Amino acid sequence: MMALLVPLLTVMGLRDGIIGTLTERLVNDPQNLEIVPLGIRDYPEYMFTRLAQLPDVAYVVPDTRIIAYTISLSRENYPNLQASAKSTTAGDPILATISPEMQIQGPQLTEIFISKPVAENFQVKEGDIIVATITRNVVGHVESEKVNLTVKGIFPLHVLNEKIILASLDFLKMVSDYQEDYAVPEMGWEGTRTRDASNPILYQSFRLYAKDMDSVERLRLALNVQGIDVITNAKRIADVKRLDRAFTIVFLTLLLVVGIGALASAISGSFDLVGKNRKSLACLALLGVPRGRLQLFSTVQAAISGFFSAIGACGLFFLVGNILNNVFTGEIENLPSICSLSITKLLISVVVVVVFMILASLCAYSALSDIEPSEGMRDV
C-alpha cells in the first residue's frame, strides 16, 4: 500500500507545489490582472463610474491627457529626469506591492510613489522632496510652474523597472488643466480658460484591474464589444491554466490508476489477512466470539493497517518532497517549494486510505463467513 501511496502523494505535492505557487503568484501579482487600453481616445468620467461597478472589476483609475504623462523632475545636486506619470488613488492594487497600508492610504495631492530607477537617480527615500516642473506653451511662449512632491513610497524593481512616478489623480488632472491653459486656483496657477460643467475633463486612457484571472478574459471581451482593444496578460494566464489542466488530467489519471490498484491491493490484502489469520479467527469463534465481532476484528485490523501505511507514506512523502525541494532550490525562478502538500490534504489522504481499507475488509467478509469454529478445534 505504501508503495502506491508515496508516488501518488509526490505527484499531488508536485502539482500543488509548482502549479499552486505559479497560480497563486499570478493571482497575487496585480500586474497580471492589469488591463490597459491600446492607444488613446477620449473617455468621459461617467464611463469609469460604470466600469467600477462591473463585478469583474477590482479597481479602475483613469489617466489624463498624454501630455501630462511626462513630467520633468529635479533635485538639487542631481541630474534632472523626465519621468512618465501615471495616476493613482487609494485602493490601487499596485500600491500593495509597496505595502498594504499604502494601498489603503493612497497619495495626498502632492505625494508620489516612484520607481526604483527614479529613486536611484535622486538618491531619495520616503519623505524626501522631488521638484516637478510643469511647462506649457501658450501662444508661442513657454510658461512653467514648480511643485514640491513628497516621496511616499518606492516600488520594488520587479514591479516597475522604468522611470515612472505615480501621482494622485487630482494632481495629474490639475497638471493636465494647466497644460491646456486652464486656471488651477487650488495650486495658484493662472490660465485663460476655466474648467466647469460645460467642458468636463476627458481622460485618454485608464488602468484597470480584474477581480481574478477568470475575470481578465471576460473584461477583455466586454471592452472589445465597446470598441476598446486592450492589452492583458491573457496569454500568460492561459499558459498557466493550460499547464494546470494538463497536470490535473495527469494527476487524475494517476489517481484513478493508483486508486484502482490500491483498492485491488487492499481487497487482496484483506483476503490474505483473513487467510493468514484463519486459524486464529476459527479458534476465536470456537471460544464463543460472535461472528460479528470477528468481522469487526478484521475491519479494525484493516483500518489500523491502513492508518499506519498512510502515516508511513506521509513520512516518506516528506522525505521525497524535501529531497526534491533541496535539489531544485534556485533551479526554478523564485519558487519556494516545488513539492508540497497542505496538512489538510495529507489528513484527507490518511482518511481516504483508512476508508479504502475498511471497504476492502468488508469485501473480505465472504471469506470470513466461511470460517467454521470447528476449524479451531484442530489446530492453530
Partner 1 sequence: MKRPILAIKRLIKTRPGGSGYRLMVSNLVIREGDRIALVGQSGSGKSTLLDMMAMVLMPDKMGKGGQFAWTGEGDYLDIWESWNKGDEAAREKIRRTHLGYVLQSGGLFPFLNVRDNILLSAWLKKDPRGKDLDRAVIRLVTILGIGHLLKKLPGNVSVGERQRVAVARAIIHNPSLILADEPTASLDPPTAQKVFELLLELSQGTALVLATHDEERAKKFGFKIHRIIVEDEGAGKGIKAMLFNDGRTQRY
Strand 141-154 and strand 111-114: the pairing is: parallel
Strand ranges for the chain from DSSP E:
34-37, 57-63, 70-75, 78-88, 111-114, 129-138, 141-154, 164-168, 205-210, 230-231
Smallest separation (angstroms) from partner 1 to the CB of 296: 14
Q: In the stretch 37-76, what mask flags binding to partner 1 with x, by CB under 8 A?
A: ----------------------------------------
Q: Work out whether the CA dihedral 52, 57, 61, 63 comes out positive or negative.
A: negative
| 374 lines the binding site for partner 1 (CB under 8 A) | yes
Find the shortest distance in angstroms from Cβ 307 to partner 1: 17
The rounded distance, in Å, linking the Cα atoms of 116 and 184 is: 31
Question: Nearest approach, Cβ of 251 to partner 1 (angstroms)?
Answer: 39
Q: How many CB atoms lie within 10 A of CB 200?
A: 10
Q: Does 380 bind partner 1 (CB under 8 A)?
A: yes
Residue 31 is given by DSSP the state G
| # binding residues, partner 1 (CB under 8 A) | 18
Spatial distance between the Cα atoms of 217 and 214, rounded to a whole number of angstroms: 6
Q: Select from 44, 185, 200, 290 the one that contacts partner 1 (CB under 8 A).
A: 290
Q: Which residues pair with 75 in a beta bridge?
A: 78
Query: In whole angstroms, what is the distance from residue 103 CA to residue 206 CA?
Result: 18
CB of 285: closest distance to partner 1 in angstroms?
Answer: 8
Of 20 and 376, which has the nearer Cβ to partner 1?
Answer: 376
Shortest spacing between CB 293 and partner 1, in angstroms: 9
Q: Judged by CB, which is closer to partner 1: 243, or 289? A: 289
- Residue 370 interacting with partner 1 (CB under 8 A): no
Choose one: 43-51, 227-235, 289-297, 324-332; the region binding partner 1 (CB under 8 A): 289-297
Q: How far apart are CA 97 and CA 92, in angstroms?
A: 10
Based on CB atoms, which residue is closest to partner 1, 247 or 297?
A: 297
Buried b (16+ CB within 10 A) or exposed e, 78-94: eeebebebbbbbebbbb
- Any idea which residue has 463585478 for its cell? 55
| 369 part of the interface to partner 1, by CB under 8 A | no
Which of 29, 291, 316, 362 touches partner 1 by CB under 8 A? 291
Q: How far is the CB of 278 from partner 1 (least distance, A)?
A: 13
Per the structure block, which three cell numbers stand in for 322? Answer: 524535501
172 CB-contact burial (10 Å; exposed 0-12 / middle 13-18 / buried 19+): buried
- Going across the sheet that includes 34-37, the strands are 57-63, 205-210, 34-37, 230-231
What the block records as the C-alpha cell of 100 is 498594504
Shortest Å distance, C-beta 275 to partner 1: 15
The reply on whether position 300 binds partner 1 by CB under 8 A is no
Residues 225-284 that bind partner 1 (CB under 8 A): 280, 283-284
Q: Which of 117, 259, 312, 373 binds partner 1 (CB under 8 A)?
A: 373
Taking CB under 8 A as the criterion, the residue among 286, 303, 352, 359 binding partner 1 is 286
Written as nine digits, the cell of 251 is 494527476
In the complex, least distance from residue 277 CB atom to partner 1, rounded to whole angstroms: 9
Contact pick of 127, 140, 227, 288 for partner 1 (by CB under 8 A): 288
Give the range of 98-106, 176-184, 202-210, 288-296 binding partner 1 by CB under 8 A: 288-296
CB 56 within 8 A of CB 218: yes
> 239 or 372, CB closer to partner 1?
372
Q: What is the dihedral of CA 322, 324, 330, 333, to 10 degrees?
A: -110
Using rule CB under 8 A, residue 289 touches partner 1 = yes
Pick from 287, 334, 343, 344: which binds partner 1 (CB under 8 A)? Answer: 287
Q: Which is nearer to partner 1, 26 or 284 (CB)?
A: 284
Footprint of partner 1 (CB under 8 A): 280, 283-291, 372-374, 376-380
